[in-house]
Amino acid sequence: MSDSVVMVLRMTATSDFRLDLTHRPRRMRRTSALRALANETDLHVHNLIQPIFVIDGDGALEPIESMPGISRLTIPLLVEECRQLLALGIPAVALFPKLDDSLKSDDGREALNPGTLVLRAIRAIKAAVPDMAVITDLALDPYTVHGHDGLFDARAGDLINDATVEILAEMAVLAAEAGVDFVAPSDMMDGRVGAIRVALDENGFEKTSIMAYSAKFASAFYGPFRDAVGSASSAGTHHLDKRTYQLNPGNRREALIEVALDEAEGADVLMVKPAGPYLDIIREVREETELPLAAYQVSGEYAQLQAAAANGWLDLERCRDESLLAIRRAGADMILTYFARAYAESVQG
Ligand code: PBG
């Protein structure tokens, strides 16, 4: 131990001891004016996308127990919500339909019904609040009894990749016809972005964008979402095993392969999901591509902050803002977050 270190250890707070330092980084943290000048990362309301769960009918909203503050909305309530979100400065919503069990089947054929709930929701928003950008998932999980994102071969215990992609491409065309701004394939099948691009273009929808769930991990943090859309009800658990298509949480290089393929196949926006536990992946993707990058702060990330705050263990607003800022710092341009509305309200003044 050097003499000076030994001396520091002996010093008391009132000492006149002075380090001979050239660099004192704390000088730039001294006042809020200096901290503002040196600030590196901003979070804006216009970076945020509000995911919304949609139900049929014209009844009351349905609160989701594992996601305090979030409810399933009927189409009339959804339209009013979009009006308010746009007034708050939130530019986009991502829609997730929760269907009646009677509409679910083994092959998810309701997804191709031109009158299905999510398509009616898109049309209603675009008619009443045309400036709101609308994003819809392309995946079969809301429509299948087994809750998987595609056609499930029970004997092989796996999804049928190419036949699923064919259905996703048809879903994309239906959503584009309804006026959606982004289709967002969330299924992780191989080759789906390219097939969706071709199907959209062949049908005259070259202006419809693709937000690709590119690096989507097989995460346990999706639990509350699966309650919200009822995609695990038949299995009686939300621990649905999607490891043959979603990424291994330990795999960084494999995530970069998926991202590169989606970019080459024509994605307009790339996505990393979940966000908080995968900040390193967001950073690496940011450095690999010039495309806009989205990150999805998923249901379990939302639920864990809500639960801790409900117990008085964390300050909800401060942890919320810090979690979103960290996702921006990692390199995300836009963030899908269940906190979007609450954040926008908190900065309204
Ligand atoms: C469906 C889908 C999921 C989420 C978004 N789209 C769940 C899943 O893959 O099982 C999760 C979102 C969340 O947890 O908030 N493909």
pLDDT of residue 235: 46
For residue 137, the ligand 1 atom closest to its alpha carbon is 6
**pTM for this entry:** 0.94
Nearest CA to ligand 1 atom 14: 222
Average pLDDT per 10 consecutive residues for the chain, totaling 349 residues? 55 80 97 98 98 96 96 98 98 97 96 98 98 98 95 92 97 98 97 98 98 97 91 58 95 98 98 98 98 98 98 98 98 98 93
For domain 43-348, the CATH superfamily is Aldolase class I (3.20.20.70)
d(CA 288, CA 40): 21
Indicate the pairing of strand 71-73 with strand 62-63.
antiparallel
137 C-beta closer than 6 A to ligand 1 = yes
Q: Where are the domains of the chain?
A: 43-348
225 C-beta closer than 6 A to ligand 1 = yes
Instruction: Provide the H-helix boundaries in the chain.
Output: 3-10, 32-37, 75-88, 117-128, 161-178, 192-202, 223-229, 253-264, 279-288, 299-310, 316-330, 340-346
CB within 8 Å of 224: residues ≥ 6 apart? 64, 66, 67, 238, 299, 300, 302, 303
Is-contact 279 327, C-beta < 8 A?
yes
pLDDT of residue 12: 58
Phi and psi torsions of 47, nearest 5°: -90, -10
Half-sphere exposure in the Cβ direction for 140 (13 Å, CA): 30
Residue indicated by tokens 């503050």: 69
Tell me which residue of 107, 116, 211, 183 sits closest to 149, measured CA to CA. Answer: 107
d(CA 344, CA 331): 21
Nearest CA to ligand 1 atom 12: 298
d(CA 204, CA 141): 27
Active-site residues: which are they? 216, 273
Q: pLDDT for 60-96, tens place per residue?
A: 999 999 999 999 999 999 999 999 999 999 999 999 9
Tell how far the Cα of 131 is from the centroid of ligand 1, in angstroms: 26
- Choose which residue among 52, 298, 327, 339 to substitute to test ligand 1 binding: the one with the highest number of ligand atoms within 8 A of its C-beta: 298
Residue indicated by tokens 């069990």: 101
pLDDT of residue 234: 46
